[in-house]
C-alpha cells in the first residue's frame, strides 16, 4: 500500500521543489521506494524528447530509478503562466479522474509518493476545481513551504487556514530566501506561535537536498519503518499541533544561526 504527501507553498517560487526533493532523498535513505509527482507544470522548454519542466526533472532524478518523465509530469505546458490557463490554451481539459489515474499508476509501484503542487494551495486545475479540491478529496496530508519574505505571516496563516478546511496540515517549512528578510527570526517566532502545525525545518539559502533532509525537525513526522508489517503502517501524521523548538546548531549543519543576523 502506498502513502502520499502533498507539498504546497504560500506562492510560486517559494522552494516547493527543494523540499519535495529533500523529502524524496529522506525516504530513499530510509529504505522506501518513492516517486515524485508534479502532475501539472507550466514553463517548459522544447527538447528532442518533448517539453520538459526543470522542477519535474528534479523530481524525476530524485525518485526511485525507472520512472519516465511523463509519469512524473503527465501535463507539461510551454508558457510560464497559471497551469489551468496554459491547459486551456493548449485545448486540454484536466479532470480529477485523470489526475487520480496518473497518481494511481505511481502509487501501485511505490511505497511513497511525494506530490508537488503548482503555485499555492488554491491554484485552479480547471474551470471547476483547484488543487485544494483534488488533495482534499484524497485526504492527503500537506506540508506548507513558507518563503520568508515581507508578507509571509499573512500568506502563511491564510494558507494554513485554507488547508485545514480540506485536509490535515502536517507542518510547515521556513525557507530563507536571499537576500535574507529583516527580522526573519522574529517572523519565524511569530509564525510558530500562531501556526496550527509544527515547524518542521528552517532551510538556509544554498542548502543542498541532503542537508535539508538531515535537518532534525523532520523527526516530527511519523514515517513508519519500511520493515514494519503493512497492516501496522499508518498514513503520514504529525506531532500535536503547536510550536516546536527551532533546529539547534549541530556539527556545522545548516541551521538558522549559520545564516547571519
The residue whose grid cell reads 504529525 is: 238
Question: What HEC string does 31-72 produce?
Answer: CCCEEEECCEEECCEEECCEEECHHHHHHHHHCCCCCCHHHH
d(Cα 208, Cα 34) in Å, to the nearest integer? Answer: 19
Copy the grid coordinates of residue 256.
538558522
d(Cα 12, Cα 183) in Å, to the nearest integer? Answer: 22
CA distance to 139, 215, 246, per residue, from 204 (Å):
30, 11, 13
Residue (of 230, 236, 235, 218) closest to 29 by Cα position: 218
Residue (of 112, 18, 107, 29) closest to 71 by Cα position: 107
Copy the grid coordinates of residue 63.
525518485
SS3 state of residue 7: strand
Copy the grid coordinates of residue 199.
515547524
SS3 state of residue 239: coil
Task: Confirm whether 38 is a catalytic residue.
Answer: yes
- 77 forms beta bridges with 42
- 34 forms beta bridges with 112
Among the listed residues 3, 21, 26, 38, the single catalytic one is: 38
- Catalytic residue list: 38
Amino acid at each position: 500500500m502506498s502513502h502520499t504527501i502533498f507539498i504546497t507553498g504560500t506562492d510560486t517560487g517559494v522552494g516547493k521543489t527543494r523540499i519535495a526533493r529533500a523529502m524524496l532523498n529522506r525516504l530513499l535513505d530510509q529504505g522506501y521506494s518513492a516517486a515524485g509527482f508534479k502532475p501539472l507544470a507550466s514553463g517548459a522548454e522544447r527538447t528532442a524528447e518533448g517539453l520538459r519542466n526543470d522542477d519535474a526533472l528534479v523530481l524525476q532524478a530524485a525518485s526511485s530509478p525507472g520512472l519516465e518523465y511523463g509519469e512524473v509530469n503527465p501535463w507539461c505546458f510551454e508558457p510560464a503562466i497559471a497551469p489551468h490557463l496554459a491547459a486551456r490554451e493548449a485545448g486540454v481539459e484536466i479532470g480529477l479522474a485523470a489526475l487520480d489515474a496518473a497518481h494511481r499508476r505511481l502509487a501501485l509501484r511505490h511505497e511513497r509518493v511525494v506530490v508537488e503542487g503548482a503555485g499555492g494551495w488554491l491554484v485552479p486545475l480547471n474551470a471547476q476545481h483547484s488543487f485544494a479540491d483534488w488533495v482534499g478529496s484524497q485526504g492527503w496530508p500537506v506540508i506548507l513551504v513558507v518563503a520568508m519574505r515581507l508578507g509571509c505571516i499573512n500568506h502563511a496563516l491564510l494558507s494554513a487556514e485554507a488547508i485545514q478546511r480540506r485536509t490535515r496540515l502536517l507542518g510547515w517549512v521556513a525557507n530563507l530566501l536571499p537576500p535574507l528578510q529583516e527580522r526573519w527570526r522574529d517572523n519565524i517566532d511569530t509564525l510558530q506561535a500562531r501556526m496550527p502545525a509544527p515547524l518542521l525545518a528552517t532551510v538556509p539559502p544554498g542548502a543542498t537536498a541532503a542537508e535539508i533532509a538531515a535537518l532534525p525537525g523532520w523527526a516530527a513526522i511519523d514515517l513508519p519503518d519500511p520493515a514494519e508489517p503493512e497492516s501496522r503502517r499508518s498514513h503520514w501524521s504529525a506531532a500535536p499541533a503547536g510550536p516546536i523548538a527551532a533546529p539547534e546548531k549541530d556539527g556545522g549543519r545548516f541551521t538558522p544561526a549559520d545564516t547571519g543576523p
